[in-house]
Structure 1
Amino acid sequence: MNRFLNILMLGLLYASPIFAQDVSEKKDSLCGDRIFGVDVIHEVRISFLQSNPWDSLFLMKKERDSLEIKKYMQANVEVDGVKFYSSGVRIKGESSFEFYPGKKKSLKINFGKYIKKQKLDGLKTINLNNAFRDPSFLREKLYLDFMRKEGLPAPRCTYANVYVNGEYMGLYSLVEEINKGFLKRNFQNKKGAFFKGEPKASFEFLGDQIIDYQNSYRNKKDSIDGFSDLIDLIKVVNGKENEALVDFEEMFNIEDCLKIFAITNLFVNIDAYNIHYRHNFYLYKNKQTEKFEWIPYDGNYAFCAFSPEFNLEQAQQLDIFYQYEKKNSPLMKFIFANSEYRKFYLDYINHLLDDKFSKIALGDEIDKLTLRIRRSVYYDTHKMYSNEDFEKNINETIGDYNDAGAFIPGLKSFLNKRIDFLNKELKK
């Protein structure tokens, strides 16, 4: 066994240099294709002038959280052998910052922060996520990739081995930033109203004053533009306007939103509006259709990696029309009160269960990704869980099955039980 571990620890699965020459100016539709379109683990080396940059990074994170001061530290960044000078780097995340032990924190890199138009494969910004509460390192990628394969506007995801001042910090998920470039690639326009749903973005009607919504729906353009349209949408959802249903459908892309909610439910990603926490989404008013689009992100809690409410059996048997009763979620009530929307949602779940959300399809994807990342996971001494936990969590649950929040389901065992339950409930 020791000999086997030594072989695995001899080196990482290095990516071959795929950026012979980085091109900053390229068609929006092609941006990121070389990063996200190859099945390799990228290598990201971040070099700060400071010998110990973590103290400054931690201080900037706390200032950003308490004072909303947007600060980055300047660093040179090398990706697969290509150098990017004077990039901006900062710590990101909430639970992944507060509760992840040690200094392996999630990071955001802005390549164009100090050198205008400097980009990585046409991308201005990338995110490096530390797989908080995920011994398998697979949850976020499986969840986001599934969304993308269904043609939904979710960020792309891959992997990177990350070094800071020469020290190997471990394996990270490399995730696409949701910004104007993302909007252009997914909707072919980027000038519409653009909001990030913060933790209290409940869709509750708070009155007609814009100021009452600004803390819950952060305008990415740092202005009040678009708030009137957002408030109009919220009014309809809450029955404050005598609008016909067709008017709601002219304001909101309900079909894609229903698909996103269906996938979120199948994967039991509790860190989402339609399950438990009312955040981790963006709203964008598509200038081509004049409809708001729902954009999901953050998948490390998929397969119920954490829940303060469910034990393991309850998570595996989560009702497809589940609504969290302790928090008011007017959008969910509005959607599920409509028979046409319920039918579309149910039909889509049945469609996914036929062959896409299946034991074979997802099991094969789990096996393929596990093989790709295993060496890097074993070499990662900063990870949250042990090598044994990594191997076990692919198939088996870790922790106390009956204690909410104290277990992390095994990917395959959870998938099998969830599919068996859904097929029985839907009598497939």
Structure 2
Amino acid sequence: MNKILQLLIVLVLYPVIAFPDTISVNKDSIAGGRIFNSDIIHEVRIQFLQCDAWDSLLFIKKERDSLRVKRYLQGNVEVNGKKYFSCGVRIKGESSFDYYPGKKKSLKIKFGEFNKTQKLDGLKTINLNNAFRDPSFMREKLYLDFMREEGLPVPRCTYANVYLNNEHLGLYVLTEEVDRGFLERNFQNKKGAFFKGEPKATFAYHGDDSLVYVGDYRNKNKSVNEYADLMQLIRVINGKEELEGSDSLQINDVFNVESCLKIFAITSLFLNVDAYNLLYPHNFYLYKNTDTKKFEWIPYDGNYALCAFSSVFDLNQAENLSVFYLHDTFDNPLTELLFSKAEYQKLYTDYITYLLSEKFTSKALNREIETLARKIRRSVYYDTHKMYSNAEFETNIHLSIGNTNDAGAFIPGLEPFIEQRIKAVKKELKIKN
């Protein structure tokens, strides 16, 4: 009886000790939780001891692009007042590097490049994107957040004011790195085949020699060579996988079709043209989930969302683009296969119908746009290195910028583009309001 009484006293006086972490999962306890769940705009200060640091960064970028030499410049980084020493820093990006004027280039910081145990809030690496061709600074945030709210495996995203050697470079979109830590957080495993699709990862079949595919599907799992798994996926997509004594493998046997179709649906609604199912066969990772034995589709890079750039469509064509669009300048057998099967068509259109009724609505998205605009407005105004003016930041929320009849010469207004896109897709799929 005394023992029972003692136990009751402990439970009453020390409830936290009795139930430490079993009631709910604290998102902040997950690696990156404090960075990506915080509502503040972070401050990132990069300091180099070299007097010619900028020239060194440019040289490393050129060396990486031409020779595939992976190097970082050593520097100290301070995030929200906390100092990290001997970090690796490099310039990243393609169009965001070549066509963004001035010094505000996209950056990658690898906290453990020279000190293997060093991390930022449990993260080894972060990306600082310069919002190329996005006067609103909101496209990538809206796009990635929307997919994450749908439970899809995409990078987390927030904002940071960035300084380099005490020079304010401006407001950046801070995004999560897709690495083995990302895999563990999203799939609870990280040892499967892992590839980055670029620059022309079309899934076209070019024979069984894996060396043919190395340049477009980069092996990110350095401990093993997993091209055999990739080759099987490509053969299945192209109908080349024959099994003795049984039916051929189907795409759903080796690939998470449902997740991919959901990502393609959101990509189409947001018209992020820099994606496989629209204009460019890159900006994705493939990971073979060791639990399901299926490849997962992991997209990234959303600064072209809501048609920030297209060399193909004028504004009217972009707003009315079919959700079953197939680009005709490169082979896209994966999209063709998924769109050719009635069961997958239904899954795809049912999901779009659901989004248009519940999530992808003008009311919901406009509210998010207004919230983000209030959050970042002051930082946008103080950014003297941004591509567009303060007036264009404000205008692009409500109106298009540039010649809307000339492909590549305009940037749609966020709110009107969303409204017109909703109307066009509902009309195409015969969805009643």
- Scaled to the shorter chain, the TM-score interval is over 0.9
Q: Partners of 1:162 and 1:284 in 2: how far apart?
A: 32
Q: Are residues 1:254 and 2:257 paired?
A: yes
User: Distance between the aligned counterparts of 1:212 and 1:224, measured in 2?
Assistant: 18
Distance across 2 between alignment mates of 1:184 and 1:222: 16
Q: Which amino acid aligns with 2:177?
A: E
1:385 is paired with a residue of what secondary structure?
Answer: coil
- Greater Rg by CA: 2
Shift of 1:52: 4.2
Calculate percent identity across the aligned residue pairs. Answer: 64
Alpha carbons 2:27, 2:33 under 8 Å: kept: no
How many angstroms does 1:48 deviate by? 0.4
Q: Tell me the CA shift for residue 27 of structure 1.
A: 11
Q: Cα offset for 1:250? A: 1.9
SS at match of 1:133: coil
Question: For the residues of structure 1 that align with 2:303 and 2:27, how far apart are their CA atoms?
Answer: 30
Q: Does residue 132 of structure 1 match 2:135?
A: no
Q: Would the aligned equivalents of 1:51 and 1:165 in 2 still touch at CA under 8 Å?
A: no
| In 1, Cα distance between equivalents of 2:113 and 2:28 | 19
Contact 1:285–1:292 (CA under 8 A) maintained in structure 2? yes
1:415 aligns with 2:427: no
The 1-side partners of 2:75 and 2:424 are apart by 50
CA contact (8 A) 1:159 1:171 kept: yes
Quote the offset at 1:236 in angstroms.
1.1
The 8 Å contact of residues 242 and 248 in structure 2, kept in 1 or not, is answered as no
Are positions 1:302 and 2:305 aligned together? yes
Structure 1-normalised TM-score?
A: 0.92
User: C-alpha distance in 2, partners of 1:350/1:171?
Assistant: 36
How far the C-alpha of 1:223 sits from its partner, in A, is 6.4
Q: Bigger CA drift: 227-236 or 239-248?
A: 239-248
Cα distance, 1:163 vs structure 2: 0.4
Distance 1:175 1:248 in 2: 31
SS at match of 2:269: helix
- 2:13 matched residue in structure 1: none
Q: Secondary structure at the match of 2:264?
A: helix
**Over 3 Å off, 4+ runs:** 26-29, 242-247
**Deviating more after overlay: 248-257 vs 129-138:** 248-257
Give the SS at the match of 2:218.
strand
Distance between the aligned counterparts of 1:388 and 1:414, measured in 2?
Answer: 19
Residue 398 of structure 2 contacts residue 414 of structure 2 at CA under 8 Å; is this kept in 1?
Answer: yes
Relative distance call for 1:198 and 1:29 in structure 2 (3 A) is farther
- Measured in 2, the distance between the counterparts of 1:103 and 1:392 equals 25
Q: CA deviation at 1:207?
A: 0.7
Aligned to 2:397: 394
Using the size of structure 2 for normalisation, the TM-score is: 0.91
Q: What is the CA–CA distance in structure 1 between the aligned matches of 2:248 and 2:170, rounded to whole Å?
A: 50
- After the TM superposition, which residues 42-81 of structure 1 pair with which residues of structure 2 at under 5 Å, given as runs? 42-81=42-81
**Counterpart check, 1:321 vs 2:324:** yes
CA–CA distance in structure 2, aligned partners of residues 195 and 423 of structure 1: 35
| Range moving further from structure 2, 381-390 or 214-223 | 214-223
One-letter amino acid matched to 1:218: R
SS of 2:378's partner is helix
Q: Secondary structure at the match of 1:413?
A: helix
2:393 alignment partner AA: F
Q: Matches of 2:224 and 2:207 in 1, distance apart?
A: 16
In the TM superposition, residue 333 of structure 1 has moved relative to its aligned partner by: 0.8
> What's the counterpart of residue 109 of structure 1?
109
**In the alignment, is the contact (CA less than 8 A) between 1:359 and 1:415 conserved in 2?**
yes
CA distance in 1, matches of 2:329, 2:116: 46
| Contact 1:195 1:220 survives alignment (8 Å) | yes
Is 1:372 aligned to residue 378 of structure 2? no
CA contact (8 A) 1:197 1:280 kept: yes
- 1:425 matched to 2:420? The reply is no
Name the counterpart of 2:146.
Answer: 146
Change (3 A) 1:352 1:246: farther
Paired residues for 1:351-362 under 5 Å = 351-362=354-365
Name the structure, 1 or 2, with higher relative contact order (CA <8 Å, separation 6+): 1
How many residue pairs match? The answer is 403
Q: Which amino acid aligns with 2:209?
A: Q
Is 1:92 matched with 2:92? yes
Kindly provide the CA deviation profile for residues 308-331 of structure 1, in whole angstroms up to 9, marking residues without a partner as x.
110000000010101101211010
Does structure 2 retain, via aligned residues, the 8 Å contact 1:275–1:323? yes
**1:203-225 per-position Cα deviation (integer Å, ceiling 9, x unaligned):** 00111111011001000124662
1:330 counterpart = 2:346: no
Shift of 1:256: 0.1
CA distance in 1, matches of 2:344, 2:249: 12
Q: Secondary structure at the match of 2:337?
A: helix
